[in-house]
Amino acid sequence: MAGILGITAASEALKSYFLPSLRYQLNTGASAVLAQLERDSESVVGKDIIMALRYGRVGGVGSGSDVGDLPEANSRKTKQAKWETKNIFARIKLSEKTILASRSSLGAFANMMKTELQDAEEDAKDNLSRQVFGDGSGIIGTVTAVDNTGTYTVLTLDTADYVAEGMLIDVYSSAAAKRNSTAYEITAVDEDNKRITLSVKDTTIVATDFITVQNSYQQELTGLKAVFNATTLYGIDRTTNKWLNAKTINVNGELSETVIQQGIDYADKKAGSKTNLLACSYGVRRAFQYLMQSQKRQVNSLELRGGWTALEYAGGAKPIGLTADKYCPAGTMYGLDTNDWRMYELADWNWMTDGGPGGGGAILRPIANKAAYEAVLTKYCDIGCQKPRGQFVLTNITEH
């Protein structure tokens, strides 16, 4: 097995050379939206997030005569939201040969590992970006047709936006029963026809089944789709708690400054929130640029936290950044007050060790029956919005 010097050097490189960069990139480089959120570990108690939701008006405010009774004190209402942090993992595998080659120095190992870690970083960032705009279910496609005429099963999906070659996926029946005990690998993607080829043939899969990233069903972050659409949010039923509902405006046509301002004004009027970020799809960003061009107006840019660049929308006292993300649903623009949002985390990204957190155990552990070792990067967290009513979404915008 790998020499102790090799293991020591490799572990030290992962901890000292790579971890700070990985933390920065995953916290700020995965998504412009995610980069704008404050990180909060104080509100995580045990494995649960506890968030106080304030709503309504202070009842002790009013007018009266100089000899009349004072207004009766009545505080704003508070609803406690409590839910469990989500678990995010990034697992990498290193051959024993690579580790042995690191015995000379940490720098030698770092150079050999640079490509491997860059690939893991990029894929982890991509997965996080998708989750930010998701609903927490982890569903990345629904099967519309199945072809088993060849050697391998070929699935037609309702969308191919979230799949790629090499991904490991699970397939569930429409009743949410898992079809496979082990994950399928996607070996080919036909984006034009929304078809994927699996690494095996499985005749049990049928149309109406759905797919998820391996082991991720109902385990992903509480993203924007959940905050705007879910019937239950943070364990609270929104059908009986209307104050927890965000505003949806069906544009059903071309984007206009008037409809954007309508959302901004609603958030301010109903919740006192000040929209400071607009997040949209690529096609909606082009629609905004077309709108400005048709009015012969120059579109300025501004810099957001984390080095992200956004277009400038002048919709209030301060310019608002407009940013696009490939995982934002088509025809959609979200209006957010990022002060109402947090990334609640038990701790920052870290390597899992066999001695437990802070136990000083090994980062690299041998893989059974393989001349290889593995390391696992972990984070326990979730996104929370303290004031959903202060956010809005514009839907069915004509894309350009």
Predicted pLDDT at 240: 93
According to DSSP, the β-strands at 232-233 and 236-237 are antiparallel
How many Cβ atoms sit within 10 Å of the Cβ of residue 168?
Answer: 13
Torsion angle defined by CA atoms of residues 25, 31, 32 and 33, in that order, rounded to the nearest 10 degrees: -120
Q: Which range among 78-82, 135-139, 165-169, 387-391 shows the weakest confidence by mean pLDDT?
A: 78-82
In the Cβ-directed half-sphere of 5, how many Cα atoms lie within 13 Å?
Answer: 8
Look at the block and give the residue holding tokens 């709108």.
291
List, in sequence order, every residue forming a beta bridge with 321; answer none if it has no partner: 277, 312
Q: Which amino acid is at 244?
A: L
> How, if at all, do strands 247-253 and 236-237 pair?
unpaired
pLDDT tens for each residue of 210-264: 999 999 999 999 999 999 999 999 999 999 999 999 999 999 999 999 999 999 9
Distance, CA of 2 to CA of 370 (rounded, Å): 12
Q: 29 φ, ψ to 5°? A: -100, -5
How far is the C-alpha of 136 from the C-alpha of 138, rounded, in Å? Answer: 6
Q: Which residue has the tokens 């879910």?
A: 230
Q: Which helix (H) or strand (E) holds 228?
A: helix 224-229
Nearest to 27 by CA among 114, 132, 108: 132
Distance CA 47, CA 379 (A): 12
Q: What is the pLDDT of residue 397?
A: 98
Does 147 have pLDDT greater than 80? yes
Binned at pLDDT 50, 70 and 90, residue 82 comes out as very high
Q: What is the pLDDT of residues 45-68, one digit of tens each?
A: 999 999 988 776 555 566 777 777
- Please say if the pLDDT value at position 105 is more than 70: no
pLDDT at position 93, please?
A: 85
Question: Taking all residues of the chain, what is their mean pLDDT, rounded to a whole number?
Answer: 89
- Tokens 């405006």 belong to which residue? 249
pTM: 0.90
CB 346 within 8 A of CB 84: no
Closest CA to 290 of 302, 278, 299: 299
Q: What pLDDT digit, counting tens, does each position of 106-142 carry?
A: 566 666 677 778 888 899 999 999 999 999 999 999 9
pLDDT at 162: 95
Identify the pLDDT of residue 1.
Answer: 46
Residue 397 is encoded by which pair of tokens?
């915008």
Q: What is the mean pLDDT of residues 267-281?
A: 94
pLDDT in tens, 344-354: 999 999 999 87
